[in-house]
Amino acid sequence: MTRPQGVRRVAVVAASPVSMFNLAIPELLFTKVEVDGGPGYEVVICAPEPGPVPTTGGLDLHVRHGLDAVREADTVLVAGTGQRYVPDPRTVAAVREAAGAGKRVASICSGAFALAEAGLLDGRPVTTYWELAEELGKRYPALDLKADVLYVHDGQIMTSSGYAAGIDLCLHIIRTDYGAAVANRVARLALVAPVRPGGQTQFTQTPLPPERGTFCADTRGWAMGNLDKPLTLTDLARHAGVSVRTLTRRFHAESGVSPLQWLLHQRIERAKELLETTTLPMDRIAGACGLGTADSLRGHLVRRTGLTPSAYRAQFTRIGTTGSPETSSAA
């Protein structure tokens, strides 16, 4: 299989029976990435045996490609079943070979079992769908299980929890490859939340309301358009037309975090996007994101990424400049 120059290839391995949702996530998100007017990724879905692959929904999917696609990929992502299963030995061998060749190997949901069986998770921090976490830990005691996070990125290996956490993982991969601006644009096109930090808990004990995340949607959109302002809980509640107590409760149920935690995350994401795509000085970026001062920007970014603003810009800038970007002394 040939591909355009500069396009990254992602091989998505369908377990059997595969979750159609888990399988659709990478295809949906990676194919929306556009860089310099062309596609950023090529997605190839493959299976140990080309042909019909059963799904957890009782349907069969016809998969055209075998595991040769893994050898030709830059990133290998094993989609899970959402239930207990024994990884196919051919998949296990393929991901072990891919990791040995230096490729990035990732999993969604129970796909982590294939990576663990291949010996790729020994001694590493990893996660999987919370209902399967205990079994993963018992079956593979050499790994460092992080059962309450959305995803884990450890070197060339990435693992994610189940279902929607696969979205977060794919957006994280896009951000790693192409920057926050591209990842956030993909999130908007796909009508999903911007990249959430991998360390955010899965909140398995918090039931979702019947609205499934729509009650505060307008207020979240309004807040995204006003990140440069010092928004308070009262401001958000007033926009939503509810009390602060009601807003906090509904917001947490929909987003998994409190309104102010969500707001801080969006401010930092906006700052990262501006650091990547502009040469604005640090105090201007801090003001545009509602973080106040360059010192405040520095503190938040170091806690989130381990990098100062100037170091983050140097590492992830997406623009060509003839000189050094203008920075403040706080950087």
Task: Read off the pLDDT of residues 5-32 as tens digits, 9 standing for 90 and up.
Answer: 679 999 999 989 998 999 999 999 999 9
Report the pLDDT value the prediction gives residue 327, as an integer from 0 to 100: 39
Distance from C-alpha of 229 to C-alpha of 15, rounded to nearest angstrom: 47
Q: For residue 35, what is the enclosing H or E element?
A: strand 34-35
Give the span between the Cα atoms of 22 and 110, in whole angstroms: 10
What is d(CA 260, CA 226) in angstroms, rounded to the nearest whole number? 14
Predicted pLDDT of residue 2: 55
DSSP one-letter string for 236-250: HHHHHTS-HHHHHHH
pLDDT tens per residue, range 63-78 = 999 999 999 999 999 9
* Per-residue model confidence (pLDDT) at position 326: 40
Region class of 293: left (phi > 0), else alpha (psi between -120 and 50), else beta: beta
Which contiguous run of DSSP H or E holds residue 286? helix 282-289
**pLDDT (0 to 100) of residue 10:** 97
Confidence grade of residue 246 (pLDDT, cut at 50, 70, 90): very high
The predicted pLDDT at position 293 comes to 94
State mean pLDDT over 103-110. 96
For residue range 226-235, list pLDDT tens digits in order. 999 999 999 9
Backbone phi and psi for residue 110, each to the nearest 5 degrees, phi listed first? -75, 0
Checking if the pLDDT of 323 tops 50, the result is no
Q: Inform me whether the pLDDT recorded for 132 exceeds 50.
A: yes
pLDDT digits (tens, 9 = 90+) for 154-176: 999 999 998 788 998 999 999 88
Q: What is the pLDDT of residue 204?
A: 33
Q: What percent of the chain has pLDDT over 90?
A: 57
- Phi-psi domain of 13 (left: phi exceeds 0; alpha: psi -120 through 50; beta: other): beta
pLDDT of residue 213: 53
Is the pLDDT at 216 greater than 60, yes or no? Answer: yes
pLDDT attached to residue 8: 95
255-269 per-position pLDDT tens digit: 778 899 889 989 998
pLDDT, tens digit (0-9, with 9 covering 90-100), for 110-119:
999 999 999 9
Q: Report the pLDDT value the prediction gives residue 306, as an integer from 0 to 100.
A: 73
Confidence of residue 324 (pLDDT cuts 50, 70, 90): very low
Residue 192 has pLDDT above 80, yes or no: no
Residue 170 CA neighbour count, 13 Å, CB half: 33
Which of 41, 111, 302, 100 is CA-nearest to residue 294?
A: 302
Per-residue DSSP letters for 101-155?
TT-EEEEEGGGHHHHHHTT-STTSEE---HHHHHHHHHH-TTSEE-TTBSEEEET
331 has pLDDT over 50: no
Q: Which band of pLDDT confidence, cut at 50, 70 and 90, is reported for residue 320?
A: low
